[in-house]
Amino acid sequence: MAPATANNQMKHMKRALILATAVGLSAAFPSASQAQPYAIAGDFNGWNNTASFNPGGGPSVYTNIMTGGTPGAWEGIKVIAVSGSWGLTYPGGNLEITYDPSGNNTLYFYPGSFSDGWLPLANRVGFVDPGNMSFELVGDFTTPNWDTDPKGQLTLKGNGVYTNTYVIATPGTHNFKFRTPGTWSDFNCGTDFSGGDPSNGTVTTTNANQAVLFQLDLPNGRWLAGSPAPAPVTNAVIFAVDMSAQLALGNFNPAADTVYVSGSFNNWPGTGPGALVLTNYPPYQGGSNTNIYYGTNNIVGLPVTTWLYKFTCSDSAYSGNGGYEPVANNRWFTLLAGNGTIAQAVANFGNVNVSDYLAQPVNVTFTVNMTNATTYPDGHVFDPQTDQVFINGNFNVGGWAAWNPIALAEMQNDPVGSEIYTYTATVPSGSLIQVDYKYGIAYASVTNYDNEAPAYDDHFRYIRATAGGAYTNAMDTFGNQYSEPDFGQLTSAGAGPGAVSVAWLGRPGVQLQVSTNLAGASWQSIAATDGTNWTAGFMSTNGWVSQTNGPATGSRRFYRLIQAW
């Protein structure tokens, strides 16, 4: 979980990188005997990630007694691996607990790994059953699917252990979760024993109408489907990441920096102890690209379970993110049904190419039409005689600024007397070519100028041409939060005798290719059509459209676009 006060800049950055990927690494779980400075956070203490965790019973078992809660109320909670940091928490999502009739409960934390066949396989968090509770089983085999089924109700066996023997009609691998009856808002858990866990529990049946025993153990923070427990499998997982783009951007020094994989299977160590170190020697699979870093980790787990991961790097460019590649979503892989090898496809660190960033500073002009503009949510009507127009975005040095007149850039009325406003910003080299921004109106009594649209509802456009060091975006309309496509929209039309006009939505790194034959085609790139070079074209609602002419006589010609670098 990220702190509730996650800043505006980080949220926008993640969206701007929505096309990026993630990476991963692996290592062994910490031993149960390794005491750590654990903390505890949740609704009960305002998600204070520095709150002390009572080590009573540790290091094998940690306990924390909570008092003063609302009887029967559900609250989220987490165990923090390192006090003051959200980098590693247990469970992955929030564990939802409830209070007994006196407003009390006790939390248990069991660090380390387990080989008893129950899930999760490590670092379990459980709580005392306060009584008068009920749970149900929902999945793709319950009737109706993923909804309350009278046959899916669990029975309390004592000491917080609930069970159900459910007859699954069809053989195969099935997905399910435990939850409080009729709602996803209170307790529910999948693989990770937490409501925030995106993965489901799985169980495999081999016969029609097979009876399967499901067990939910609240105090021990674990569950089991099937009896006996399925045998763990061992998979050799190969991770590989290409650092070429980061090297070109100056965010990676192969002589001094190290690349790792960190994930749910090794307790998310970032770049610290336990992270899987990747190497570039010998070159990956006998190739010549020494910027590909790779490594293998033997992972033991239950069959067909999903693990999450990212790549990390020790370079200072990523120190503010704990070394993790700057992408919103985790990468993942699923263990095989038996022993074997999983070779992950080679990924780009951060899922970006060199051309996703500016190689030079560019003066970018933003233009907005304020005619009939009104603010959100109060509906103030823009008055060009008294009001001011400001702009904010990821193009600022340091990223998004605070929404106040001291930090923001004021736009100018151009031409004077119209309701068109412009602002030119120098976007530094190394910035994303996708600009993420928003306008705001300053008027009497308003203090927060983030009033064009709801929070995080922004404009997204691309700096499509960098030749000459200047680019003008298409005109925006205040309140119309427009998002341009990346590249494409390739069209052709007659351009006069003996010529055909070819037009496309381009950008740096994207080039036009031509071929005379699609059967066994050999495509030739026209490097000059790259957005870093090409200037011929016209403006559209999606920004600059590149355009060129080709011959319309002789052999037929075929065109396509490719992101070349």
pLDDT per residue over 371-430, tens digit each? Answer: 999 999 999 999 999 999 999 999 998 889 999 888 899 999 999 989 999 999 999 988
Give the H or E element holding residue 301. Answer: strand 292-301
Confirm if 444 and 386 have CB atoms less than 8 A apart.
yes
pLDDT confidence tier of residue 214, bands split at 50, 70 and 90: very high
146-190 pLDDT, tens digit per residue, is 999 999 999 998 778 899 999 999 999 999 999 999 999 899 998
User: pLDDT above 70 covers what percent of the chain?
Assistant: 90
Burial label for 452, CB within 10 Å (0-12, 13-18, 19+), is: buried
Choosing among 3.40.50.140, 2.40.50.140, 3.30.413.10, 2.60.40.10, the CATH entry for 356-477 is: 2.60.40.10
**Mean pLDDT over all residues of the chain?**
85
Confirm if 136 and 149 have CB atoms less than 8 A apart.
yes
CATH 2.60.40, applies to 8-127? yes
- pLDDT score, position 507: 97
- pLDDT score, position 328: 66
Give the H or E element holding residue 359. Answer: none
- pLDDT score, position 495: 66
55-84 pLDDT, tens digit per residue, is 544 446 787 878 888 998 999 999 988 888
- pLDDT score, position 518: 80
- pLDDT score, position 298: 92
- Delimit the domains of the chain by residue range: 8-127, 356-477, 488-563
- pLDDT score, position 213: 93
- pLDDT at residue 26 greater than cutoff 80: no
- Per DSSP, 5 falls in state T
DSSP string, 348-396: EGGG--GGGB-SS-EEEEEEEE-TT-B-TTT-PBP-TTT-EEEEEETTS
- pLDDT score, position 8: 28
Confirm if 284 and 240 have CB atoms less than 8 A apart.
yes
- pLDDT score, position 37: 60
pLDDT confidence tier of residue 19, bands split at 50, 70 and 90: very low
- Per DSSP, 77 falls in state E
pLDDT confidence tier of residue 6, bands split at 50, 70 and 90: very low
pTM over 0.75: no
Residue 184 phi, psi (nearest 5) = -100, 0
pLDDT confidence tier of residue 18, bands split at 50, 70 and 90: very low
Asked if domains 8-127 and 356-477 share a fold, the reply is yes
Burial label for 522, CB within 10 Å (0-12, 13-18, 19+), is: exposed
